[in-house]
Amino acid sequence: MTSLWTRAGKVFTKSRASGLSAKAPKEMGSNSAEKFYRIPEGKGPHSVGCTDLMTENAAEGSFLRLYYPSCNATDNEEAPWIPDKEYYQGLSDFLNMYRVVGERLFQYYVGSVTCPAKPNADFKPGEKYPLLVFSHGLGAFRTIYSAICIEMASQGFIVAAVEHRDESASATYYCKKKSVSETEEESTPNMEKEWIYYRKLKSGEEERCLRHKQVQQRAQECIKALNLILKINSGEEVMNVLNSDFDWNKLKDSVDTSRIAVMGHSFGGATVIESLSKEIRFRCGIALDAWMLPVGDDTYKNSVQQPLLFINSEKFQWADNILKMKKLSSNDSNKKMITIKGSVHQSFPDFTFVSGEIIGKFFKLKGEIDPNEAIDISNHASLAFLQKHLSLTKDFDKWDSLVDGIGPNVISGTNIDLSPSQGE
């Protein structure tokens, strides 16, 4: 119901007619008409690098993609958007497709898509950056919100995009040591990937019970990621089990430990709320088109003390979900809600940028609003909100009006009818 592709479960089953543009990023020139099909670059003053970090040889460790301000890395190629074929298999499972078909289609359409960040580029030292922890939606994984994460990094944030291992990602993995007999053939002698795929609801299983259990784990994974980045910031050595030449020592003393926020989409929005309720070091949170079902009753009772911004799409929300948001935000001027006109649930993940116009709208990957405009509104409102509540000395306050729902294609509050007859 609140999947990465709400009402788009068959988007890749329509063969090549789906119109997804995978080859565009490598083929187009600067003046190409296909520029629209590219994941947008960051608009801030910083170049952006990215690198992956995984701790421990077990599922209990942390796994995240770090987006960060980088030194200019003109020689580096851009990072692959979907890094392993197993993610195609997981997406196929999630979309109820045969893996052999799904993997081939995903590879054909998006196999060459890159995101505009340079892998393992040198970290840009010299200032303390605020930290943003990002939580993905149901059926997604750490790389699928790169447009948002890259923009935040370009504006001077360190962004830790967590890959959740609660079986809500379409696929994820941890590394484990190989048995002796296996080590001789492989190029990475001692480690192998153990994949964890999306778990579907079992027959007769109540969804709220499963999702509440998962959101507890997700919140702990966000807090664990926060602790990990702060440990690196303090100069502690952290063992990255992934092969990488990124110099983590350069992050020492580069995080502004007094300016930390949490952000997420859909199930990740619920994760934001749970994380705020459990960890006071998150000074504020941003929930993008949040799915409120997983949020526990105790969270409503105890409320969330930190400032919270709900950014909703026009087409996804419904009365009961909005009423739960209002239950958390009533009578608190530091909790805001806005709605982006013409947007859909998929206006936040990257798939909105790599799908063709007609099929993108048919399968609700695009709304009536231009995807670039929708993501700009979301990012600008987020930056204005973060400036206020993290006390940043930037110029993001030029977008303050968006947080109040003032401006083209944005409204304050919700477009949903909340009259009593609609609320139940």
How far, in Å, CA of 47 to CA of 256, rounded?
19
389 is catalytic: no
How far, in Å, CA of 81 to CA of 230, rounded?
27
Tokens for 291, please give them: 């799915």
Helix (H, G, I), strand (E, B) or coil at 336: strand
Helix (H, G, I), strand (E, B) or coil at 281: coil
Q: Which helix (H) or strand (E) holds 309?
A: strand 308-313
Instruction: Please report the beta strands in 120-254, taking only residues with DSSP state E, as ranges in sequence order.
Output: 129-135, 158-162, 171-177, 191-197
Tokens for 95, please give them: 């979309």
**145 and 134 Cβ atoms separated by less than 8 Å:** yes
168 is catalytic: no
For the beta sheet containing 63-70, the strands, ordered from the edge strand earlier in sequence to the opposite edge, are 118-119, 47-54, 63-70, 158-162, 129-135, 255-265, 284-288, 308-313, 335-340, 410-412
**Residue from 212, 345, 380, 389 carrying the catalytic annotation:** 345
Going by C-alpha positions, the residue among 292, 273, 294 that lies closest to residue 282 is: 273
How far, in Å, CA of 308 to CA of 287, rounded?
7
**CA angle (401 as vertex; 400, 407 as ends), nearest 5:** 140
Tokens for 328, please give them: 């958390």
Task: Provide the 8-state DSSP code for 166.
Answer: S
**85 and 103 Cβ atoms separated by less than 8 Å:** yes
Phi first, then psi, for residue 199 (nearest 5°) are -100, 120
CB atoms < 10 A from the CB of 70, how many?
A: 22
Helix (H, G, I), strand (E, B) or coil at 230: helix
Q: What is the dihedral of CA 112, 115, 116, 118, to 10 degrees?
A: -90
How far, in Å, CA of 254 to CA of 251, rounded?
5
Going by C-alpha positions, the residue among 43, 58, 281, 282 that lies closest to residue 147 is: 43
345 is catalytic: yes
Q: Which helix (H) or strand (E) holds 119?
A: strand 118-119
**Residue from 3, 18, 62, 266 carrying the catalytic annotation:** 266
How far, in Å, CA of 140 to CA of 98, rounded?
18
**Residue from 93, 289, 350, 376 carrying the catalytic annotation:** 289
Which residues are identified as catalytic? 266, 289, 345
